[in-house]
Structure 1
C-alpha cells in the first residue's frame, strides 16, 4: 500500500525510512484507514524491538510516515541465507520477538499479521517488528478478502481461517509457526491456493520438527506444539509465558521431557457423578473406629512442622535450580553501553565492571569486548564485564574542505572528537559542504578535549533548493519551507 524510501534527517543526523502512501491508493478509504491504523498503533508502542515512528503527516494530499531505519534484512531472507540457524540464536531471536509482542498485547494491540517478512533483523542481530497495518482492526473478518491473505496465510491461526475474531492466542499461533520455520527452514503447510493452506491450519496437525532434525530437543519442540495447538485454550496464555518456556528449552534439566500431548477426552459436557455410600462414614460404624480417626493436637503440630521443613527445602532447592541455570551470553560487541545493558538484562544477566580503552576500530562508547564473551555460558544473574571504547588516542587530520559536513562530523564524533559547526554565507560553495577546518591536513591531534570546527554555508543558499527537496525534508524544519516558498 506504500512506497518506502531511505532518507536522511539532517537535523538529528540520522538515516530514516519514509513510507509514502501510493498515489493510486491515496483515494481508497480502506487503504487510508489501514495506513492511519499502522501509525496510531506504532506510536503507542515504545519497545526496543518495535520499529519506532518519528513523525506522520500529509503533504499535497499524500500521507507519509517517518520511521526508524533498520539497516539489515527481514527474517524471511535471513532464514534463507543462514539456515540452519544455531539453536541458541533461534531462541534469542524468538525471545526478542516475544518481548515486542508482549508489549503490544499489554497495550491491547493484536498484530494479526505476524510473519518473518514483518520482522526485521539488523547487522547486530537485533530484532524489530514492523507493519501494524491491520493490528487494531481485530473486529473485522480475517477472510473478507481471501486474495489479501496470500502473504500471510502460511502463519494464519485456525480461528482466523474460520473467520473468527483474532485474539492474543492468534498471535501466539503465528509465533509458533515462525519458530517452526526458524527450526526447519520451511513453513509447515503449503498449497496451491490460500484457501487450501488455510484449511490445513485448522484440519491437519503441525509436522514434527524433530522428524526433520533430531538434534532439536524435545523441550523445544514442545514449545512449537503448545504455541500451535488447534484449540486456543491449549496455547500459551501470554507471550511472556511462551518466552519463559522457550528460555529454558535448551537446558539439560529438560533433556528427558516427554512429547507434549493434549487430552480432549473430556468434552466439557455436564456429567452426574455418583458418590458411593462407602465414601461416607457409616452410622453403624463402631464407636471405637470413629474415635480412632480423631488425631491428637500434638500430632497436628508435628505434621505442620514437618510440612514447613519440606516447604523450606523445596524453596531452597527451587532457588538453587533457578539461579544455577545457565544462559548463552549474547553478542554485544559494537553496541553502546546502554544497548548492551538492555540486551544483557533481557538474557537475565547484569553489567559488571566497565573499563575504557582507546580503539581505532570501534567508535566512542561502543563495546569492544565482554567477559565472558559471546556464545559462552553464564549463570543467570551473573555479571558480564565490558570493555568500552574511548575513541582513538591520536588522529592524523585529513583535508575535509569540500566534503559533506554531516558524514565528516559523524565520522569524527565516532573517533571521540567534539565537533562544532559555524555557519557562514557563501555564493561559491554548495550548501552542506565544508569551507574551512581549524586543524590543517596532516596535523596529529589528540581526541581528548579537542574540538574540531567545521564551517558550512548559511541560509542564503537555501533559496536555491527545489520544491522536491522541500517535500522530503518538510517534517524536519520550518526554515526550509519558508525559504522555498
Structure 2
C-alpha cells in the first residue's frame, strides 16, 4: 500500500500481531515483541500441526517501503522490510544520527483509543532500563502514522529454544526474566502477558543464553482501574492468573506476573501449560477453580525443589505466591546454588535431604534399584506408548483449539467490526492442520479431525464442524470435549434445518421435521447430556440448551440466567435466554392464538437479552442476526395488530446492519436484511403503512434481495426466493394501480426459477410462480394476447406443488384463481364457461371440505357465480339464480372475514349486474346503482390506490347516465362530476384498457345527451374516440371497446349534416361492430338496435 492512504484498522487482537516462521533457516530478527520472517513461503513441519500463535500472520508478499512516512527519512535510512503484524508493519532501519541499527514498528489505521494506548505503553516500556528488557528508544507520530523505535535483536522465542536448553539454562533464563519484571514492578508497571512466546533468547559469544522480556502491549500502571481497550479478557489464556481469567481487572498487581512467570516455567519444564482444557470456557473455569497437576506428575525428572517453586507461583490466592518477582528470582538462585529454597518448609528431614543431594555417590545403590525396576516395567511402558503419544497429540491439539477459540472469542468481544479477517486466519490454521493430517500417522487422525471440528465450530460453520467431529469419533478418538462439540454442532444444524422447513407446508413439513429431529435434535441431546457427565465449563448453559430443545422453556430460561451469572463473559448464555424468550413470544404470533400484548411482552424481554449479549459479543454476527429476526417478527405482529411498523422496522434494520458489519462476506446478515425489507415492502404495498411510499420500499427491498442473492451459497434457494417475492410485490402493486406488470412479472418468474433450480420441491416458490403466471395471463387477456400458455404453465406449477404436498392449500387456491380468469376470458369472448366453471366448483368444494373455516372458497364461489351471471345477462338469459348464489357466497365470506375489502367488491359487482338487468328491462335501476356506489365507495376508501374499484365505479356511473339520458333527465353537471372523478386516474399511463373504455362510454352518452339538445356533440365524439384509440392500442380486438367505437361512429353519422358524411360514418360504425362481433358474438344481441340503424344509414 502506498504512503498517503492510511490502512483501515484491523481489529481482532489485544496486542500487536507477530510474524513468525516455522523452522526458519536461521534465527530471524526479533523486534519489540514481533518475531519477523522473510516474505518467502513457509513450510510447516509434517510430523505435527503448526502451533505458532495465531497472531503470527505471514507478511504481505512484495511489501514496499513506500508506506513509510516521509518524515522518518529525515532521521533514518536503509529501510528494510522485516514483517507485518495485525496493527502494522516492522522495518529495519539505520539511525544515521546515532549510527545504530533499529527496528521501527508502524501502526497503521489504529483507532485513536487503541493507537494512543499502544504509544503510552511503549513509552512505559521505555522507562524500564534493564539488560533483559527490549529497549524502546522512541514512540510518536509521523505524518499521522504512529511509530515505535526499538532495539533490534536476533534470537528466538523461549518456547522454540527450550528444546536446546539444559535444565540449569532454563532456570537461569527465568531467573533473569524475574529480575527484569522486578524492575518493571519497581516502576509501577505490570506486564500481564508473560509467556514463553514473549521471552526471546539469544546465545552470547560465550554460549550462554540471554533472555529479553518483550511486548509490554498489555502493561498497565499498578492501580490503574481504567477499562481495557476492548473491555474483554486481556492476556493469553493458558498463562493467565486466576484473577485475570475471572476478569478482575482491578485485582491485578505484580503477583499476577509472578503467576504468569510460574506458568511459563511450568510450561518450559513440563512441555504443557498448568491447566489444559478442550475449549476456552473450560480453560478459564479451570484456571479459576482447578489445581494444576504437580510438575513431577508429568515429568518425574524435575527436582522437587524446583517443583515447589513452580507450584508456589501457581497458588490461586495472590497472597500465597511469592510476594514479588525478586523473591521468585532469589529462590531460583538458591536452587541453582544448591541451597534450601524458601518454597519448601525448613523441616529437619528436608534439610538433611538437601545435604544428601550433594553426596551423590552415597545414593548410587538406590539409583541401580530404580534402573532394575524400570527394566521390569519396560514392557508395560511400551504398551502404553501408543496411548501416551495420542495423549501428547491431544494435548497439543487441545492447545491449538483453545488458541483458535480464544482468538475468535476475543475478536467477537471487540467493538463492532468485520471479523472475517480473524476467521480467515483461523481457516488458514485449519488448512495447515488438514495438510499435516495428509502425511500424519493413523494415530493422529482422531485428534486432527477433532481440532478441525472445533475450529469450524468456532467459525460457526456447523456442517463442516460436524463432519470432522464424526470422523474423529469414527477413528476411535475419545476426548472429554468431543460430546460437547458434537452436541453444539448438531444443535445449531438442527436450528438451521428447522428454519428451512418454513419453505414447506402441511404433512411434508411435519415429515421433514420428524426427519431432522431424528437426524440432528435427538443426537444433539444425547451428546449434550453425555457432556454433562464430564467436566465442562458451563454445565448450566448446556442444561439450558437441552431444556430449550425439549420445549421446557421456563427451565431453559432459568438455566440460561444461571449460566450467565456464573460466567458473566459467556454472552452465549444471554443469547440463549433471548432465544427462549423469543420462542415463548412466538406462541402468540400465530393466527389462531394471536395476542399482540403477550407477544410484545416476551419479545421485549428477548430484545433486552439479545442486547446484553451484543454488549459483550459485539462482533458476533449470530447475535445480531437473532436480533434482526426478532424485530422482523415484531414488525409483522405490529402489522397484524394495526400498529405502526416503522419503530420495529428501524430496530430490525439496525440489527441486520450490525450483522453485516460483523461479517459482510457471509450471506446470513444480507439474507435476513433482505427478508426484513421484503416483509416491509409487502406491508407498505398493501396499504398497511399509509405514511410510507410503496415504490421506495419496493426499490430498497429489490436492492437488498439482489445483494443477498449475490452473496448466497451456490445451492441456497432462499435468497432467490426473496428476490422473486419482492418482484412479485411490485407486480401486485403495479396491477392494483393498473400499471404495466410485464417487466416485474418476468423478473419474478426468473428468480423463482433460480430458487426452484436449487430446490425443485420448494412449494412456496412453485405456488408463487404459479401466481406470477396468473398475473402474466391476466395482462395477456387484457391486451388481446392468447393467455392459455401462461395459464397452463401456472397450473402446472400449482399442480406440482399440490403433488409434492397434498395439504398445501395456497396452491389449490391459486389454481382456482387461474380457472376463474379463464372463465372470465371465455365470457369476454361470448362463450359460456361451463366446463371451466365445473372444474372450479369441484376444486372449491374440495377445498371447503379440507378447510371449512376458510373464507377464500366462498369468495371464489361468489366470483364464479358473478362471471356466470355476466354471461347470462349479455346472452339474454336470466342471471337471477347465479346472482343469488353470488349473494350466498358473499354473505358467507363476510361472516368469516368481516373486514375484508372483497366483501364490498362482491356486493358492488352483484349490484352492478342487477342495475344493468333492470335497465335492460326498462325498470328503474336506481336502488341497485345506489348500492353499487356504496359498496365501491367503501372499497375505494379501504384501498384508495386500487384501480379496479374505480373502474367498476365508473361502469356503475355509465348505467346511471344511460338511465338519465334515456329519460331525458341528464345534465352537464352530472357528466362533469363523473368525468372529474375519473380524470385524476390519467396522471400516469395506465395499462388498464377498461378505464379508457369507460371514459369512451361516458363521452358517448354525453354526445347523445347533447345531440338531443341540438348542442355540439362532435367534441364529445372526438374525445370518446380518442380514449377508445388508447384502449385499442393496448387491446386491438377488445370487443367492448370496438362496440363503443361503433356507437360513437353511429352517433357521428346521426348528427352529420351531409348524407355522404353520414353514410361514411355509418360504414365505419358497421366495421367496428363487425370487429366486435367477431370477438364476441353476443355484441350483436346487446347492440342490435344500433347495428340495424348503422346498416340503414350506410345504404
The higher relative CO (CA closer than 8 Å, separation ≥ 6) is in 1
Structure ID, larger Rg: 2
Q: Which has the higher helix share?
A: 2
